Amino acid sequence: MSDRDQSLPHTVSGASNSGDALPPIGEHARQYETVRNAHETELIEDYVELIGDLIQHRGEARAADIASRMGVSQATVSKMIRRLNELGLVTSKPYRSLFLTEDGQKMAEVSRTRHDIVLHFLRALGVNDHTARIDAEGMEHHVSNETLSIMQRFIDQQTQR
Amino acid sequence: MSDRDQSLPHTVSGASNSGDALPPIGEHARQYETVRNAHETELIEDYVELIGDLIQHRGEARAADIASRMGVSQATVSKMIRRLNELGLVTSKPYRSLFLTEDGQKMAEVSRTRHDIVLHFLRALGVNDHTARIDAEGMEHHVSNETLSIMQRFIDQQTQR
DNA sequence: CATAATTGTTAGCCAAGGCTAAACTATTTG
DNA sequence: CAAATAGTTTAGCCTTGGCTAACAATTATG
């Protein structure tokens, strides 16, 4: 709580969208579909990204570390690792630490880049570091490449002055 | 696809976060926890928000409309409505259209406001309308009130000039 | 006004992502 | 080097949010 509990702004400048017509049905459905799809990959990406970070910063990724950092039980991690294996994102021998496959490394890097852009963008916007970290974690999977590019441009403008 | 498929920016100005140390374990876990919690309420909020929109724009919310706009089967909607009922967010009589309870209306309004702020913000940033709509749909549930306030301020600055 | 078409519900299936408890493996240490 | 501790996996359970198919109610129409 704390940082995230502040008075919610109650207005939007100019015409509120509430007055706008609803989008055409097909388009509307596609918007929700995009979100549902993002959902399916989100967790996977979070695990892969975290595993990449652990390898980079700690030299290895142990299940126990993943569990404590993700805030879930070891059993959950174990099950997830099996999935990542099936998806060809990690290789693992029982009771040994993990490695990312080439695909896994690629995914980790893309996720990491996106994450960083969103985080830097929020900070450049003026959001405090702690909140920015939390928001970035949730937002990263829902930001299109178009928006990412624009965020990057914004960061550049802010820092080059 | 289309709008969302563009070259991913590969750099972040200044120090990449990848070089930063990992957050302390407890904090890290809390970040993920926040995202997991958001997840649980996301869908609920989407349904409630959509029901509110339908009532406002169409005069009523029928299950069939919800199904086609969400892009899911009617059976799924029916089941979901039962849950919303249990949660005290809607009232419904079998084979009749839905109404939001007071709590439901409150939730719909908060969601709508957040959604609008994020959407307007993205447009003010320069994101094209179509992409902005998709991104807003996914992002809205992960934006803290602090960030929303800052987005609102940004919108005001952009439009008041 | 009887029947067809539309809309809503129920039953029963599935996969994902949590959990706890118990079993197994590896590592550390007395 | 044996026993204790730490780490990992498996089994089995639960809830959510999808689905299809079958049935029920409502509404529209010939």
Domain that holds residue B101: 25-159
Does residue A17 lie within any of the structural domains?
Answer: no
Domain total of chain B: 1
Q: Is the pLDDT of residue B36 over 60?
A: yes
CA A70 to chain centre: 13
Instruction: Name the nucleotide nearest A39; use CA and C1'.
Output: C16
| Selected residues 88-147 of chain B with any CB under 8 Å from a CB in chain A | 110, 112-117, 119-120, 122, 125-128, 131-135, 137-139, 141-147
Instruction: Name the nucleotide nearest A93; use CA and C1'.
Output: D8
B69-95 confidence digits (pLDDT tens): 999 999 999 999 999 999 999 999 999
pLDDT at B5: 46
Q: Cα separation of A80 and A41, whole Å? A: 13
pLDDT at B3: 44
Task: Determine the distance between B97 (CA) and C10 (C1') in angstroms.
Answer: 18
CATH number at residue B97: 1.10.10.10
In DSSP terms, A98 is beta-bridged to A61
Does residue B3 lie within any of the structural domains?
Answer: no
Does residue A41 lie within any of the structural domains?
Answer: yes
> If pLDDT is split at 50, 70 and 90, which confidence band does B16 have?
very low
Task: Determine the distance between A77 (CA) and C28 (C1') in angstroms.
Answer: 24
Residues in chain A closer than 8 A to B3 (CB atoms): 144, 146
3-state class percentages of chain B: helix first, strand second, coil last, to nearest 5: 70, 0, 25
Q: Is the pLDDT of residue A1 over 80?
A: no
In the predicted model, what is the mean pLDDT of residues A139-161?
94
Does residue A54 lie within any of the structural domains?
Answer: yes
| H helical segments located in chain A | 25-58, 63-70, 74-86, 102-125, 129-139, 145-159
Does residue B48 lie within any of the structural domains?
Answer: yes
In Å, how far are A44, A141, A142 from A111, measured between CA atoms?
10, 8, 12
Task: Determine the distance between B86 (CA) and D14 (C1') in angstroms.
Answer: 19
Nearest chain A Cα distance for residue B59, angstroms: 13
- Listed in sequence order, the residues at least 6 apart from B84 whose beta carbon sits closer than 8 Å to its beta carbon are B44, B47, B48, B90, B104
Lowest average pLDDT, out of A12-16, A55-59, B42-46, B50-54, goes to: A12-16
State which protein residues have CB closer than 7 Å to strand D. A 36, 62-64, 74-75, 77-79, 81-82, 92, 94-95, 97; B 40, 43-44, 71-73, 75-76, 79-80, 83, 94-95
Does residue B133 lie within any of the structural domains?
Answer: yes
Does residue A148 lie within any of the structural domains?
Answer: yes
A62 in contact with chain B, both atoms CB, cutoff 8 A = no
Does residue B82 lie within any of the structural domains?
Answer: yes
Half-sphere exposure of B159 (CA within 13 A, CB side): 15
pLDDT at A21: 85
